Amino acid sequence: GGTNLMDLMKRGVETPDAIIDITRLPLRQIEKRKNVVSIGALVPNSELSEHKIITEQFPLLSLAMKAGASPQLRNMATVGGNMMQRTRCPYFYDTALPCNKRTPGTGCGAAEGYNRMHAIFGASDSCIAVHPSDMCVALVALDATVQIQSGKTIRNIPFAEFHRLPGDKPELDNTLQAGEIILGIELPDSNRFSSHNSYIKVRDRNSYAFALVSVAASLEKNGDIIKEARLAMGGVAHKPWRLTAAENFLKNKKATEANYIQAAEIAMQGAKTFQHNGFKVKLGKNAIVEALMKAG
Ligand code: SF4
């Protein structure tokens, strides 16, 4: 849909020699195939969030997508584009300021600057930016797979391996190689996580704003007992941040507020804050508890 690329080109952050229009490629399916639900890379965000298969089987994905951007942007933006969108770090968008992601080797303006929106997990000395997507937070929680094609070769990778941490190469947001194209994503065709879901997004405005923190929570329950929990956060790392230790803690536990509080404590262990984003630790804990309470 070009919704992020146009922003970046207007500001001179991206200056492509050429742009290839792929909008007529046959990648707009939302359908069941063998044991998976297949979603094409060119499906608009609005269409996906309203589709019957998604609202019935994967309401977490629908909730997360509706929390993103504005209705106009969701009509234009695609699944593949949502995955490929770049950070909203203001230093990245201002070509007068240093930014290792935009111009490697120039330094990170945010590290010593205004870093209220920035990462508390997985940051490096090179970059402390966060990934801005809501959709991707739900997809990592739901164990999606990404289908990628290069020439005649198709490879499938776990969604959690698509985006990367900045390390010493912050210019790379993800593991897509030159010459590769995202065909789409696949979700396991199951109803396990169709009943107990919540997506909490804490932001400065109620619409058209990126998350300070967001939490995707999905529970598979047997009465009061949690058979399996899925938890992921947005707004806290360079990639959608799966909370595996908290998920493991919740397995076979009672669905109680006390257990949710303990899970939130576990989830936020190891958080490293910067000058202006220390509030994200408490905000994150509270958002996790709220998301689990709503889902449970
Ligand atoms: Fe650039 Fe990353 Fe630093 Fe932001 S946090 S200024 S994107 S290097």
Could you read off the pLDDT of 202-218 as tens digits, one per residue?
999 888 889 999 999 99
| Residues whose beta carbon lies within 6 Å of some atom of ligand 1 | 87, 89, 91-92, 99-101, 108-110, 127-129, 170
Nearest atom in ligand 1 to the alpha carbon of residue 102 is 1
Helix and strand counts by DSSP (H, E) for the chain: 12, 9
Single-letter residue type at 231 = L
Q: How many A from CA of 186 to the centre of ligand 1? A: 31
Residue with tokens 């770049």: 86
Question: What integer pLDDT is reported at residue 208 of this predicted model?
Answer: 80
Closest ligand 1 atom, residue 129 Cα: 5
Looking up tokens 């994150």 gives 284
Ligand 1, atom 3, residue with closest C-alpha: 108
What is the rounded distance in angstroms from the CA atom of residue 58 to the CA atom of residue 47?
Answer: 14
pLDDT (0 to 100) of residue 138: 98
Q: 81 to each of 88, 184, 280, how far by Cα in Å?
A: 15, 11, 27
Give the C-alpha separation, 279 to 282, whole Å.
6
Pocket test for ligand 1, best of 13, 92, 117 (most atoms within 8 A of CB): 92
Looking at ligand 1, which atom is closest to the CA of residue 109? 6
Hey, what are 230's tokens?
Answer: 């899925």
From 85, 95, 101, 272, the mutation candidate for ligand 1 (largest count of ligand atoms within 8 A of CB) is 101
Mutate-to-test residue for ligand 1 from 14, 88, 91, highest number of ligand atoms within 8 A of CB: 91
Tokens (6 digits) for 269 = 């262990």
Dihedral (Cα; 259, 262, 268, 270), 10-degree rounding = -140
Q: What pLDDT is attached to residue 207? A: 81
One-letter amino acid at 145 equals T
Question: What pLDDT score does 70 carry?
Answer: 87
The pTM (predicted TM-score) of the whole model is 0.97
Mean pLDDT per 10-residue run, the chain (296 residues)? 94 95 96 96 97 97 93 94 97 97 98 97 98 97 98 97 98 97 97 96 89 97 97 98 98 98 98 98 98 97
Q: Which atom from ligand 1 is nearest to the alpha carbon of 113? A: 6
Span from the CA of 23 to the centroid of ligand 1 (angstroms): 31
Query: Which of 86, 95, 100 best tests ligand 1's pocket when mutated (most atoms within 8 Å of CB)?
Result: 100
